[in-house]
């Protein structure tokens, strides 16, 4: 038996390996959908029973008409120690120009802030000052001292328990909801 010449052996090796089948690569998993981080409203032409869903873990609120999602908003809910309570509620009060009777600033006779971000139940009133409640435009109370309204949105839970929204979204929700509109707050 004669040994194969080197060139023949290499050619045979390439022929054998070229015929092997390589399993197709697995398709890449689709990238997870990132949640929409903006707010929107498309509900002016829609009808149907309104309902509101607030998801605290997402820091988002959803508005439905007849079961159809017509608006979505970023929110800032209650910070630790002032948590927004999960549960099933209804809008029990609407006040377009609501002002807090607990949180706000102490001001002097000229309207200058003497002490900012006070809680009247904890912060004593300085002599000569008066209390000026925090503005809560488009306020909709859903239980106790908790409601939805326009306010500051730092990108995380930071309120005293209320659900703050951008002013345009608070106005849309306010205009589209009636008293007795169901409000579901989820953890």
Segment 143-186, tens digit of pLDDT = 999 999 999 999 999 999 999 999 999 999 999 999 999 999 99
| 160 vs 3: which has the higher pLDDT | 160
What pLDDT is stored for residue 130 in this prediction? 95
What pLDDT is stored for residue 147 in this prediction? 97
What pLDDT is stored for residue 38 in this prediction? 87
Which structure tokens are listed for 85? Answer: 């309570």
Q: Grade residue 26 by pLDDT with cuts at 50, 70 and 90.
A: low
Across the range 4-22, mean pLDDT stands at: 43
């Amino acid at each position: 038996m004669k040994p194969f010449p080197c060139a023949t052996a290499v050619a045979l090796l390439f022929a054998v390996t070229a015929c092997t089948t390589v399993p197709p690569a697995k398709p890449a998993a689709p990238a997870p959908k990132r949640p929409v981080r903006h707010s929107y409203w498309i509900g002016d032409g829609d009808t149907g029973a309104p309902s509101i869903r607030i998801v605290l873990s997402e820091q988002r609120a959803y508005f439905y008409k007849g079961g159809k999602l017509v608006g979505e908003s970023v929110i800032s809910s209650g910070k630790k120690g002032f948590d927004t309570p999960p549960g099933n509620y209804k809008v029990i009060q609407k006040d377009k120009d609501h002002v807090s009777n607990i949180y706000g600033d102490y001001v002097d006779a000229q309207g200058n802030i003497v002490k900012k971000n006070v809680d009247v139940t904890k912060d004593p009133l300085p002599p000569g000052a008066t209390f000026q409640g925090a503005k809560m435009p488009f306020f909709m109370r859903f239980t106790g001292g908790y409601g939805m309204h326009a306010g500051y949105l730092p990108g995380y839970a930071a309120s005293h328990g209320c659900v703050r929204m951008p002013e345009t979204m608070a106005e849309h929700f306010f205009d589209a909801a009636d008293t007795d509109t169901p409000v579901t707050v989820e953890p």
